[in-house]
Amino acid sequence: MDSFFSSSFPPTDQSAWLAQVQRELKDAGAYESLRWHTDEGFTLEPYYTADDLNQLPLTLIQDAQKPIPGWVNAPECTGSNEKTANAVLRDTLAKGADGLVVRLPARPDLSQLLNGIKLTETPVYFQFQPGVTSQEIVDVVQRLKTIAPYQLKGGLLTDAGEATAQITQLTADSPQFYTVGVSSHAFHQAGATATQELAFLLASLADRFDPLTDAGLPIEQLAQKLILSVSIGTDYFLEIAKLRALRVLIQRFLQFYQESAIRYPIQIHARTSRFYDSTATAYTNMIRATTEAMAAIIGGCDVLSIHAYDAVLNQSSEFSERIARNLSILLSDESHLGKVADPSAGSYYVESLTHQLVEMAWALFTTIEKRGGMAKAIADGYIQAELERAYQAKVEAIKNGRVLVGVNKFRFDETTTQTHTLTTEETGLAEKRLAEPFE
């Protein structure tokens, strides 16, 4: 059989492929027209071979990836009050969710909210409304420890600020309850490129780690309690590579805080993007969520939240929430994506793209650190200017013909009675949607 394939399909190299392209297109300069000059600041080739892998730190990239397949299907759940929310949470779990993401007010009645939910078995990830103080977050964790005196599962997706050290120590007996939460959602929603999102997340993490290590928390404890929450956009391969690059970057980042070369399994929570949602032809958001969820899974997320296609209209229904929840189940049980760890490993293209994102993001991260860190870069307006430049580039691309399905092409407007009001996160960065100027 080997001889059959070797004779039928003789090996070719990149130069042979290039020669064939030039013959087919009858243009000696055809290759340059096929190269992709990305918004990330680097150029992607139209063709990759095994030789390209030889130029990469492949072992370093692959060793940083998640070694165990699967993910937690954790829809984001809310309710008008604790009693109503509890019914929603229990129903969500009964209909296929593995975990929950719950948005809390300042002083929730946790006994009523979490009644009937086994916190030692079901991962519950908590977000807090803007304005909640660090002490109020500590109080919530202390009440959780009272409700579930055994090991908790889940964690905090909101930065607990100065209370992070105390909360981390409070939950030291619960290794699967992650308390050092850092998010890149604000950057993504402001229009960041993948490179910016990664670099700004690292810079935010540096701002969080420095006071914690100065306070005496060992890096080993912080790393094991770390959970990163990121948004996943519609650029399929780029988003796969973004999550893979994030794991490489985190390991490189942690090396600056420790002498040993120990690698820590980092938790990544991924959620489908609100930035690319559209109020026009809202059903197309369902398709966007599918590619975003697949990219998150193939990229190696640990926890996945898929929002309903009509959440952008502030009118998600039982139907749309069921479709979002079942999407994750389908990708696991029918597509079997939960049976393979790091399925894109070895892909000439994805490995090359991962490496380029790592290097570009690290360079931008070091630029921010030289400016005094993330907080100072925001105070100086540097981050806002960079994000605005990236956002305007995306808008211009749509104006110049880049397709946004259901918005500037294949559009079908439906009557809606509600619109989505975008909020501003605590970073001070206004949330945006790419489709909004064209709706």
pLDDT at position 427: 62
| Strands 124-128 vs 154-156: parallel, antiparallel or unpaired | parallel
Find where tokens 């029918």 sit. 334
Q: If you ran DSSP here, which 8-state letter would residue 415 be given?
A: -
What tokens appear for 198 in the block? 């990664």
pLDDT at position 259: 61
pLDDT at position 1: 47
pLDDT digits (tens), the chain, 439 positions: 455 555 666 777 778 888 888 888 888 777 888 888 888 989 999 889 888 999 999 999 999 999 999 999 999 987 678 999 999 999 999 999 999 999 987 788 999 999 999 999 999 999 988 888 999 999 999 999 998 888 999 999 999 988 999 999 999 999 999 999 999 999 999 999 999 999 999 999 999 998 888 888 888 899 999 999 999 999 999 999 999 999 999 999 999 887 666 788 899 999 999 999 988 888 899 999 999 999 999 999 999 999 999 998 888 889 999 999 999 999 999 999 999 999 999 999 999 999 999 999 999 999 999 999 999 999 999 999 999 999 999 999 888 877 778 776 667 766 554 444 445 455 678 888 887 777 7
- CATH number of the structural domain 60-358: 3.20.20.240
**pTM for the full model?**
0.91
Q: Is the dihedral of CA 267, 161, 168, 77 positive or negative?
A: negative
**Which amino acid, residue 198?**
L
What tokens appear for 392 in the block? 């305007």
Report which of 62, 103, 65 is spatially closest to residue 297, judged by C-alpha positions.
65
Q: If you ran DSSP here, which 8-state letter would residue 409 be given?
A: B
**166, 132 Cβ separation under 8 angstroms:** no
**171, 177 Cβ separation under 8 angstroms:** yes
How many other CB atoms are there within 10 angstroms of residue 14's CB atom?
14
Residues 6+ apart with CB under 8 A from 316: 307, 308, 310
SS3 of residue 76 by DSSP: strand
What tokens appear for 397 in the block? 């691309």
Residues 6+ apart with CB under 8 A from 269: 74, 101, 125, 157, 227, 228, 229, 230, 301, 302, 303, 304, 305
154: left (phi over 0), alpha (psi -120 to 50) or beta: left
User: What does the alpha-carbon distance between residue 65 and residue 67 come to, in Å, rounded to a whole number?
Assistant: 6
User: What does the alpha-carbon distance between residue 125 and residue 311 come to, in Å, rounded to a whole number?
Assistant: 20
pLDDT at position 407: 78
**430, 190 Cβ separation under 8 angstroms:** yes
SS3 of residue 101 by DSSP: strand
User: What does the alpha-carbon distance between residue 392 and residue 370 come to, in Å, rounded to a whole number?
Assistant: 26
User: What does the alpha-carbon distance between residue 294 and residue 301 come to, in Å, rounded to a whole number?
Assistant: 10
How many other CB atoms are there within 10 angstroms of residue 385's CB atom?
11
pLDDT at position 409: 65
Number of Cα atoms under 13 Å in the Cβ half of residue 246:
36
What tokens appear for 154 in the block? 């889940």
**273, 295 Cβ separation under 8 angstroms:** no
**188, 197 Cβ separation under 8 angstroms:** yes
SS3 of residue 182 by DSSP: strand
